[in-house]
Structure 1
Amino acid sequence: MFQIENLNAGYGESQVLRDVSFGVAPRESVAVMGRNGMGKTTLLKALIGMLPARSGSIRLEGRELAGLESYQRVRSGLAFVPQGRMIFPFLTVEQNILAGAGERGARTVPEYLYRFFPVLKEMRARKGGNLSGGQQQQLAIARALMSEPKVLILDEPTEGIQPSIIKDIARVLNELRRERGFAVVVSEQMLSFALDLADRFLVIDRGRIVHEEARETLDQDKVRSFLAV
């Protein structure tokens, strides 16, 4: 459904991604793992259009996205939760979520979002900047889901979040993708979180995919060796 082929991207004269290729099936969750500086965030920014691809293909259900602007990719079915969450601190929780609907201009938050994220319902009138890190991450995910994506892309979602909330987020994402039918692409350094969420693992090193394995057969020690500094 979501297919990336021979993707190359970088900044200025520096090339970061080198012929990256992988696919993601409907409802599948794929973790992209690697050390800092190996290309994880660059890859996700290239997928969503925040960084233009120099060459290669990004297709969703057969439609080429590589030449589109970010908002056009969102319309086509991608959603992105960036590193650091980037919620609107002076808007309420409910206003933040509704902002994710974009030009569709939804006036109410869908029932399922408050069902999966009950803390957001309790705090719907609170300013986003007054939430904890874990609550802000839930808010950022809920806002992204307002566009009803086919692929949800998350960049380092565990950063700055306490372990108990991390496990809750993995559980909720698994339940959501099964119920709502979207796939997940997540960049992550925390192997325990990725094991809770991902069906398949890709390891990126110096801008190339150097290892790929399903969770059922995953050699955790080998993955950890790629993550070690």
Structure 2
Amino acid sequence: MLEISHLNVAYGESQVIHDVSFNVGQRESVAIMGRNGMGKTTLLKSLIGLLSARAGAIRLGDIDLVGQPSYRRVQRGLAFVPQGRMVFPFLTVEQNILCGAEHSGYRQVPEYIYQFFPVLKEMKHRKGGNLSGGQQQMLAIARALVSDPKVLILDEPTEGIQPSIIKEIAQTLNVLRHERGFAVVVSEQVLSFALDLADRFLVIDRGRIVHEEMRAQLNQEKVKSFLTV
């Protein structure tokens, strides 16, 4: 479904992503693991179009996304939940969610969103800035989902969230991706969350993919060695 080939991304003259290639299948969940500063966020921003690729290809099905602006990539089927969530603090929960529905045509929040995130239904008239960190993360995910994505991209979704909510989000995403048919690409440092969500693990180190394993064969100690300073 999503194919990244020989991707290179730079900030000015400083190259951050070096010849990265990987595929993501339909309904598959892929975790990009690595320490801070290893290129996880840069990689994901390049997928959604917030950063330009210096070289390489990003294909969704038969469509090459390189050079297309972010809104076109959303129209094609990518959705992005940024690090820090970036909800609109002065809009209500319901208004925040519908901000993501521009390309899907929803005029009201789809019932499945409230089914999987009932706390958002309870708080639909509350301002986004008044929610807890975990509730804001659910809101950011819901806002991305109403674009009806083929691939949901999440950048460090566990940041600042209590463990019980982290596990709940992983379980919800697993059910949703199978029911709604989308794939997941998630950057993460928390191995327990990735183990709950991902089918396959890629480790990024200094902008290069240095290790890849399926969850069933995962050597957790080896992965942990890439996550510690």
TM range (shorter): over 0.9
Structure 2 gap ranges (5+): none
Partners of 1:97 and 1:18 lie apart in 2 by: 35
> What is the correspondence of 1:50-65 to structure 2 with a 5 Å cutoff?
50-65=50-65
Aligned residue type for 2:89:
P
> C-alpha displacement at 1:103, in angstroms?
4.7
Aligned residue type for 1:93:
V
> What is the correspondence of 1:149-228 to structure 2 with a 5 Å cutoff?
149-228=149-228
Structure 1 gap ranges (5+): none
TM-score, scaled to structure 2 = 0.99
Q: Identity, % of aligned pairs? A: 76
Partners of 1:122 and 1:217 lie apart in 2 by: 41
Partners of 1:6 and 1:104 lie apart in 2 by: 31
Question: SS at the partner of 1:106?
Answer: coil
Question: Quick check: 1:98–1:105 contact (8 Å CA) kept in 2?
Answer: no
Aligned residue type for 1:169:
I
Question: Quick check: 1:32–1:187 contact (8 Å CA) kept in 2?
Answer: yes
Aligned residue type for 2:30:
V
> What is the correspondence of 1:1-229 to structure 2 with a 5 Å cutoff?
1-229=1-229
Question: Quick check: 1:155–1:187 contact (8 Å CA) kept in 2?
Answer: yes
Question: Quick check: 1:29–1:198 contact (8 Å CA) kept in 2?
Answer: yes
Partners of 1:33 and 1:188 lie apart in 2 by: 5
Q: Which runs of 4+ in 1 moved over 6 A?
A: none
Show CA shifts across 1:23-63 (max 9, x none).
00000000000000000000000000000000000000121
Question: SS at the partner of 1:100?
Answer: helix
Question: SS at the partner of 1:193?
Answer: helix
Partners of 1:62 and 1:223 lie apart in 2 by: 33
> Matched residue pairs, number?
229
> C-alpha displacement at 1:106, in angstroms?
2.5
| Superposition RMSD in Å | 0.7
Partners of 2:198 and 2:33 lie apart in 1 by: 11
Question: Quick check: 2:33–2:204 contact (8 Å CA) kept in 1?
Answer: yes
